[in-house]
């Protein structure tokens, strides 16, 4: 599942949990059927929810807490579980499943095209010309607004996009091709750099059901 706010995109994979604070406008989409749990939580003064959005890895304990929270139990029981869950959540390391999006309209048009079609064969010059911006300005805007160079951002966007095909069961060769990599070894190496494991290892260690946790003040 892909969660997107105005300037950030996250990929929620099997075995991970997304957290999105109250009053944060966001939208969700998926490339195929997904299943999981989505909780809308009323902010409580006694529970210190994380202030920032993020996607985190889960374990059996956290998944059990989420299952229990979905049961129809007394309010004090649920509040006690929430305190434990938020304590765990505040100490979990954030997974590298986030991509910052450029704010400038022209740079965002380029970013959207690359996200829509990770295998796009157009180079930076061609993309800049297509969307009416100079290569120099395109490079400057990406670095200024995302913290990454254009080529680095594009590389990370490809890797994150490739997750949808990994979990769809495609071979590494097919995933690399759809992600715009002509060299499978290069794709695997870049993937390992991002996640610390190969695509195959990543899939094996994230077989738990995806869980999406959302916070809402309504």
% of the chain residues with pLDDT over 70: 92
Mean pLDDT of 92-117: 94
Please give the pLDDT value at position 206.
Answer: 64
Winning range, highest mean pLDDT, from 37-46, 95-104, 197-206: 95-104
Domains in the chain, CATH or no CATH each: 2-96+209-215 (no CATH), 103-204 (1.10.10.60)
Q: How high is the pLDDT of residue 45?
A: 63
Around Cβ 164, how many Cβ atoms within 10 Å?
20
206 burial (CB, 10 Å; 0-12 / 13-18 / 19+) is buried
217 pLDDT band (50/70/90 cuts)? very low
| Verdict on whether the full-model pTM lies above 0.85 | no
Mean pLDDT (whole number) for 162-166: 93
Q: Quick check: 208 pLDDT over 50? A: no
Model confidence at 207, in pLDDT bands (50, 70, 90)? low
Residue 40 CA from chain centroid, whole number: 19
Q: What is the pLDDT of residue 118?
A: 92
Q: Is the pLDDT of residue 166 over 80?
A: yes
- Separation between Cα atoms, residue 40 and residue 30, nearest integer Å: 19
Q: For 119-148, what is the mean pLDDT?
A: 95
Between strands 211-215 and 16-20, the pairing is parallel
pLDDT mean across residues, the chain: 87
22-51 burial by CB neighbour count: b if 16+ within 10 A, else e? eeeebebeeeeeeebbeeebeeeeeeebbe
pLDDT in tens, 43-82: 766 677 777 889 988 888 888 888 888 887 888 888 899 8
Query: Is the model's pLDDT at 41 over the cut of 90?
Result: no
Give the pLDDT of residue 16: 86
């Amino acid at each position: 599942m892909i969660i997107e706010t105005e300037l950030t995109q996250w990929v929620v994979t099997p075995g991970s949990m997304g957290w999105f604070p109250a009053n944060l406008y966001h939208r969700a989409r998926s490339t195929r059927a997904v299943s999981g749990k989505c909780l809308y939580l009323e902010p409580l003064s006694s529970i210190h929810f994380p202030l920032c959005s993020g996607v985190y890895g889960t374990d059996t304990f956290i998944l059990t807490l989420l299952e229990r929270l979905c049961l129809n139990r007394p309010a004090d029981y649920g509040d006690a579980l929430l305190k434990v869950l938020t304590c765990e959540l505040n100490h979990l390391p954030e997974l590298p499943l986030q991509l910052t999006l450029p704010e400038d309209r022209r740079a965002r048009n380029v970013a959207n095209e690359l996200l829509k079609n990770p295998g796009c064969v157009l180079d930076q010059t061609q993309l800049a010309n297509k969307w009416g911006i100079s290569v120099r300005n395109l490079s400057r805007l990406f670095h200024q607004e995302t913290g990454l160079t254009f080529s680095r951002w594009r590389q990370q966007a490809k890797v994150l996009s490739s997750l949808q095909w990994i979990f769809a069961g495609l071979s590494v060769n097919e995933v690399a091709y759809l992600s715009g990599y002509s060299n499978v070894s290069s794709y695997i190496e870049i993937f390992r750099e991002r996640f610390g494991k190969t695509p195959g290892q990543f899939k094996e260690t994230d077989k738990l059901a995806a869980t999406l946790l959302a916070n809402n003040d309504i």
